[in-house]
Structure 1
Amino acid sequence: MPFLKERGEGVRGALSWPFLRLYLLVLLYFSANSILNVIIPLRGESLGASNTMIGIIMGAYLFTTMFFRPWAGQMIQKHGPIKVLRIILIINGFALILYTFTGLEGYLFARILQGVSTAFFSMALQIGIIDALPEEDRSQGISLYSLFSYVPGILGPLLALGIWQTGDMNYFTVVMIVIAISTGLFGYSAKMDKNTDQPIASHTEQRVNMFTSFNQLVKNPFLFKCSVLMLTSSIIFGAITTFIPLYALQLKSGNAGIYLMLQAGTVVFARFTLRKKIPSDGKWHSSFIMGTMLVLAISAQCVSYSITGGPIFFYLGAILMGIAQALIYPTLTTYLTFVLPQVNRNVLLGLFIAMADLGVSLGGVIMGPLADLFSYSSVYMICAILAVTMVIFSYDRRKIFVEATTRACSKSS
């Protein structure tokens, strides 16, 4: 699966077969989560766990991922993505099998193992895609990676509800084992080669950057703005993922499987149809990002109001949430690939993606106690308010300054 330029023909496009193989691996890897996101809350409630405990178990996955992403970026830069990928798939397979014979304590440990695996897996795939594609195709590659990570969410929740309603967890065991084995076999055959036209930082520089780049979350204005937006958005995404299976039980006509299917289906459709609309020029497009955050705010409010307004608002919220998810992550990630310095770009991207992980984790950990104190509807209203604040935050009056600085950063890298 070479990504290298051959005879001056240029790097292949984001929809060529070598990249499609990577996207299919992403689909297989994230299939398990589309099922676990439904099974774990339902299983936890049946065992008497509180919303707080369910939130901690669900949040442990991406909370762990958050801590390992920067290290993953460094290790992948040093050893190459394919060597790391093969080891990680073994760990992931063990975690999936662990779910089949343990209780809540085992679920927590399995979520942590999954978090470690995902940190390295997603960084390996995304760094490989970013390094291989030309600048004008980066947004498409990142968007398609994210798209295929959401494809399992179309049918996975319905499959999970079907398994749960049968009352026979042996079906769950079989599905987890099949996913673990198929992902491992498919991933072991994957190959990735770095584009040799791009400069490579020395290992010494990478080690220094690893320990000094954390302060860039605040000092670098581009990384700071994108991280705050991603963190807040991910809190909302995390609250939706964690508690929708339980919130839907309180609605007269709400179905969590249909909601998650609509949301994931919208992400897939929007990511594919709008992938060329996502800015890929290294400039900050305030109106585009503000509009996306407004869609996120409306979607959260629709979900909150559905307890009174009914299923129309519930499912409308799913569609709008899917649109927001389809646009926010690839837009911010693509922008950062242009403005971050090349020498430690992978580590800084790892920190940014870690903010997304932290947000999803906090969506369960923080919103769980609030759901215990108030209600799920109140939690989603708080999420809508957070999104409105991000509409204001994403506006930047210094557009000319930002573009000028962006060009300077690109030249210096």
Structure 2
Amino acid sequence: MLTGALSLPFLRLYVLVLLYFSANAILNVIIPLQGEALGATNTTIGIVMGAYLFTTMFFRPFAGHLIQKHGPIKVLRTILLVNGFALLLYPFTGLGGYFVARMLQGVSTAFFSMALQIGIIDALPEKDRSQGISLYSLFSYIPGILGPLLALSMWQGGMDAFTYVMIGIAVVTGLVGYSAKMEPKKDDQNTEGNAPRGKMSASFGELFRNPFLFKCSVLMLVSSVIFGAVTTFIPLYAKEVPSGHAGIYLMLQAATVVLARFTLRKHIPSDGKWHRSFMMGTMLVLALAAQCVSFSVTGGVVFFYAGAILMGIAQALIYPTLTTYLSFVLPKANRNVLLGLFIATADLGVSLGGVMMGPLADLFSYSFMYMMCAALGGMMILFAYERREKNLG
């Protein structure tokens, strides 16, 4: 019988995560292609794509505060209605409507992901915490395996199917979400709503005052800029790579994330220590991935797909490692709000990957833009260094 992070109640939550993020796996391809077809610049496409997680970033801390006050299930059921409405906008609007829908999705994702992750952290014993976060992240990436290919098929064969798919995802996600359950550990059951109030605004300063939160947030921010640049512009850049195919690239990256998160989930540190070699090595993989993507326009498709695999490995490790570490070292009284701030840096980074890197691609080239991403990754190798391994629990 499966127990812990793989028990039946948690498996139902992971299925909900899979359903929720399946829409994005399709939209991440459709929106750039539709934008280009409508004559939008890379800057405009980046803004529309970035509106999603830029909005999410602002609502993360507030989501953590409300979830701590009301509990994850009540928040989850309310926000699924907002998500359903956002998905229904896509088939019936143009680029301007996409922008509004992306913002609504951003609001719902802020609350959805915080509710699921806080619920998992609160319900699992410490030894299983990293596995739970890893599996949450894993199921959020499973749709990315087939989603891009499905999106390209819909784009090439007509958009009628796109309408039915968006409606179907909205309805099924809502039904599954309303049947979800999350039970906190017995020692946490009386903490809901009892955390100090009026502290949320003061918690923003912790992003700079708390050295552990600051280090993790900077690493996550820069990493997410690179991930965002890939998500936004690979569907367009692939056309410049000899024999390159955006669907195959995104499928390879997502499949690598899923495989790595499942096979390596027990190796992700879950002890409250800063493992400098582990993090520096992961940042090196990220830098190499971006450089492979950059070089592929002249080096060929082998570098293009090698970059996808390396990017997937880095993406599989960075987020669950940093999130699990912070779940140990942040003060419990306002842990949810501070985790919200940290996750907001991931959202900001993905958003900036489109908003900032789009003009860079317009001024120079996609290849140059990805080379700058590789340079940012290289800087983070040094930033991840700590003079000594610290037990910060």
Q: TM-score range by the shorter chain?
A: over 0.9
Alignment length (residue pairs): 392
Deviations 1:132-162 (A, max 9, x none): 1111111000000000000000000000000
Shift of residue 398, structure 1, vs aligned partner? 3.8
Aligned residue among 241, 246, 257 for 2:247:
257
Instruction: Give yes or no for the alignment of 1:331 onto 2:329.
Output: no
Residue matched to 2:372: 382
Residue matched to 1:6: none
Residue matched to 1:283: 273
Residue matched to 1:26: 17
Aligned residue among 150, 154, 161 for 1:163:
154
CA distance in 2, matches of 1:219, 1:249: 45
Aligned residue among 82, 89, 107 for 1:116:
107
Aligned residue among 178, 197, 217 for 1:207:
197
Instruction: Give yes or no for the alignment of 1:69 onto 2:60.
Output: yes
Q: Is the 8 A contact 1:209 1:347 kept in 2?
A: no
CA distance in 2, matches of 1:140, 1:193: 17
Residue matched to 1:313: 303
User: Judging changes above 3 Å, is the alpha-carbon distance between structure 1 residues 45 and 282 closer, same or farther for their aligned structure 2 residues?
Assistant: same
Deviations 1:223-280 (A, max 9, x none): 0000000000000000000000000011220000000000000000000000000000
CA distance in 1, matches of 2:266, 2:280: 19
The residue type equivalent to 1:147 in the other structure is L
Deviations 1:75-114 (A, max 9, x none): 1111111111111111101100100110011000000000
Q: Is the 8 A contact 1:41 1:245 kept in 2?
A: yes
Residue matched to 2:207: 217
CA distance in 1, matches of 2:34, 2:255: 25
Alignment of 1:133-172 (within 5 A): 133-166=124-157, 168-172=158-162
Q: Is the 8 A contact 1:12 1:133 kept in 2?
A: no
- List gaps (5 residues or longer) in structure 1: 1-10, 408-413
CA distance in 2, matches of 1:157, 1:309: 24
Residue matched to 1:176: 166
- List gaps (5 residues or longer) in structure 2: none
CA distance in 2, matches of 1:251, 1:74: 45
Shift of residue 40, structure 1, vs aligned partner? 0.1
Q: Is the 8 A contact 2:70 2:192 kept in 1?
A: no
CA distance in 2, matches of 1:46, 1:96: 21
Q: Is the 8 A contact 2:286 2:377 kept in 1?
A: yes
Runs of 4+ in 1 over 6 A off after TM superposition: none
Aligned residue among 36, 39, 49 for 2:30:
39
Shift of residue 202, structure 1, vs aligned partner? 7.3
Q: Is the 8 A contact 1:74 1:206 kept in 2?
A: no
Shift of residue 12, structure 1, vs aligned partner? 4.3
CA distance in 2, matches of 1:34, 1:92: 15
Q: Is the 8 A contact 1:132 1:194 kept in 2?
A: yes
Q: Is the 8 A contact 1:201 1:344 kept in 2?
A: no
Shift of residue 204, structure 1, vs aligned partner? 7.2
The residue type equivalent to 1:62 in the other structure is L
CA distance in 1, matches of 2:276, 2:388: 10
Residue matched to 2:120: 129
CA distance in 2, matches of 1:33, 1:206: 36
Residue matched to 1:393: 383
Residue matched to 1:411: none
